[in-house]
Chain A
């Protein structure tokens, strides 16, 4: 059973703080993704990674960075949190293309409030 976990379910941070959101998957998936989910806007891709130390920008990367030092772990970093980054953050992982088993499996989400 695929398991994607996120380090926190709820976080409260202050404007300007550096924030780390951690995601771990236990299925040896190559692909990992970070989304934010906001009402009326659906899921928007922030960053994704196809391999260790590899990252690519998604649709809304501004104000975020990522780190993938190990295959199972993908971290999202808010360098200087702002109130407009208050959101639900979802991590996902999947197998690569040739397997045709590309379902993205999501973590439970981290609800971040920036004050």
Chain B
């Protein structure tokens, strides 16, 4: 089955700086890669996703890149703000999400004011 590894497990950045979270996956058939954000005490919510036919996707201050050859994908947050503090999860799926999502272990991002 799929295995998703996520690094780092914790990340602290100064407000205004950029944050990068990296994930690798094992199943070359995976073709859908969402990122979820979970604020303290709240449910995970999708913030951005990318499909295997695209190398990069951007939405305001967040972007995701995908390297299919290397089987890794990354989340980039620029101009970080205190409200970006949360746990971020990457995930991978082999059937555009209809099949089960395999999640990474999460990254706790702390933005230092």
Residues of A within 8 A of B (CB): 4, 31, 33, 35, 40-45, 48, 50, 58-59, 90, 94, 96-97, 100, 102-104, 106-109
Contacts and interface: CB of A to CB of B under 8 A. Distances in A.
Residues of B contacting A: mostly: loop
A106 B45 contact: yes
Nearest to A106: B43
B46 interface: yes
Contacts, number: 58
B43 A48 contact: no
Given A40-B9, A42-B6, A58 B100 contact: yes
Question: Which of A31, A43, A97, A107 has the most B CB atoms < 10 Å from its CB?
Answer: A43
Query: Interface size for chain B: under 10, 10 to 19, 20 to 34, or 35 or more residues?
Result: 20 to 34
Interface of B: 1, 6, 9, 32, 34, 42-46, 49, 89, 93, 95-98, 100-106
Given A40-B105, A42-B106, A43-B103, A103 B43 contact: no
A45 B92 CA distance: 13
A42 B104 contact: yes
Given A59-B1, A97-B98, A106 B106 contact: no
A109 B96 contact: no
Contacts of A108: 42-43
A104 B104 contact: no
A33 B105 contact: no
Given A40-B9, A43-B89, A102 B97 contact: yes
A103 B97 contact: yes
A42 B105 contact: yes
A109 B105 contact: no
